[in-house]
Amino acid sequence: MTSQMFMWQKLKIIIMKRSDFKHFTIGIIAFLVVCLVFRHYLFGNKTYRKRPLHNDSNIDLVLEAALQIKDRPVMITIVNDGYINLVKSWICNTKHMGFHQQVIIIVTSPQGIDEIKTISPDVTVVALDVDQSMNGHQEYSHVGYLKIMVLRTQIQLALLHNDIEVYSFECDSVFFANPLPKLRAHSGEHDIVFISNYQRPKSINGGFLYLFPTPAAKATFEQLNRMMLKLFSNIRNQPSDKWIPTHENDQVYLSTLVAEKYAGLKSTILPFSIFSDGKWYDISEEDRKLTYPFLIHNNWIKGNIAKEGRAKKWKHWFLKADGSCDFDWAKEVTKTIIY
């Protein structure tokens, strides 16, 4: 073999190796692209999430919705079909405050979803598949009400397990200002932020709580969930309108855990003067003038019809008779509060 032929054969080998390397590189790139597409197909834009406890598809639905929300906190409330008018009034009240894209309204019946979305398309509505004992007008400390509280506790825990900052609120309320900056300011200092209970200042209001996904908050809600599941096992087959002693509910259980600083929990209860409950409507005019509330929780009154009546009496109602929003009045009410 001449030296020229030898060089030619060597050159062919080099070209073949380069060609093989090129094909190998293209193959690797193609493989990575397939992996990325597969990952997007499985998870979309979401980060990897932990499955909810007990593999409950209802909790899974809420978790999926929460993972789609970019801003924090995720605001959640759970309501049944008896609450729809209260929900719509609250949406009218808060639409101009700029946080509706962070709101998930969890409903136990599809009734009213279209009406809610018509008022505010930015709000996320998740309809659950639950037994009918959880629908209709529910009263505090009755079986139907407590079943909803069990579900709410499980949802809160699932969100915490996925490191989602949560503001759990109630729609039977009036907001005079956006409370989120005030609540978020407790990051790093507290695990849970509560609003006050006027009659029992050391007890917490279970309807309004701001949860930071800290180890202590997660451990506390794991224990609360165990307590609520035990309660559920005792009431699951009882009539929805049966009264249950008031020491058996999520608010009492959580108050106990907070008092004992379970798992090293750090919490605070914000004063009545800036986060008021329904006793605000009963105190003297002189005492009311000493308050500058971000919101008032319209509780300490039985039944949704009574709640609606009181809200209308105090002009804390923002839904017109024709079902449209009184946005002018909503803005007027919030304009009068200065912080």
Q: How many residues does the chain have?
A: 339
Give the residue among 19, 117, 133 at the shortest CA–CA distance from 82. 133
Same domain, 237 and 206: yes
| Between residues 319 and 336, the one the model is more confident about | 319
Instruction: Say how far apart CA 46 and CA 66 lie, in whole Å.
Output: 10
DSSP codes of every residue in 245-292: -TTSSHHHHHHHHHHTTGGG--EEEE-TTTEE-GGGGTS-HHHHTT--
Q: What are 194's strand-pairing partners?
A: 209, 269
Confidence of residue 245 (pLDDT cuts 50, 70, 90): confident
Same domain, 171 and 273: yes
Tokens 């009045």 locate to 329
Domain harbouring 220, CATH code: 3.90.550.10
- Span of 105-114, 262-271, 308-317 with lowest mean pLDDT: 105-114
Residue 151 burial by Cβ neighbours in a 10 Å radius (0-12, 13-18, 19+) = buried
Question: What pLDDT is attached to residue 319?
Answer: 98
Domain containing 6 equals 1-44
Estimate to the nearest angstrom the gap between the alpha carbon of 143 and the chain centroid. Answer: 22
Q: How far is CA 161 from CA 48, 68, 213, 253, in A?
A: 12, 16, 7, 20
Same domain, 37 and 155: no
**pLDDT tens digit sequence for 204-231:** 888 999 999 999 999 999 999 999 999 8
Confidence of residue 246 (pLDDT cuts 50, 70, 90): confident
* Number of domains observed in the structure of the chain: 2
Confidence of residue 138 (pLDDT cuts 50, 70, 90): low
**pLDDT tens digit sequence for 73-118:** 999 999 988 899 999 999 999 999 999 999 999 998 888 899 999 9
Same domain, 146 and 190: yes
DSSP codes of every residue in 197-239: -SSSTTS--TTSEEE---HHHHHHHHHHHHHHHHHHHHHTTS-
Same domain, 81 and 165: yes
DSSP 3: H
Residue 46 burial by Cβ neighbours in a 10 Å radius (0-12, 13-18, 19+) = middle
Same domain, 67 and 185: yes
Residue 192 burial by Cβ neighbours in a 10 Å radius (0-12, 13-18, 19+) = buried
**pLDDT tens digit sequence for 33-45:** 445 444 443 344 4
pTM of the model: 0.82
Same domain, 190 and 163: yes
Determine how β-strand 166-168 pairs with β-strand 74-79. parallel
CB 95 within 8 A of CB 74: no
Mark out the alpha helices in 44-142 (DSSP H runs): 57-67, 84-94, 113-119
Instruction: Say how far apart CA 146 and CA 239 lie, in whole Å.
Output: 12
- Span of 7-16, 45-54, 266-275 with lowest mean pLDDT: 45-54
The whole-number average pLDDT for the span 136-149 is: 78
Same domain, 187 and 232: yes
The whole-number average pLDDT for the span 50-70 is: 81
Same domain, 102 and 129: yes
> Which H or E run includes 10?
helix 3-43
Same domain, 38 and 85: no
Same domain, 35 and 158: no
Same domain, 149 and 83: yes
Give the residue among 62, 208, 65 at the shortest CA–CA distance from 130. 62
Mean pLDDT for the chain?
85
Assign residue 233 a region: left if phi > 0, alpha if psi is -120 to 50, beta otherwise? alpha
Between helices 304-313 and 84-94, what is the axis angle to 10°? Answer: 30
The angle at the Cα of 229, spanning 228 to 232, to the nearest 5 degrees, equals 90
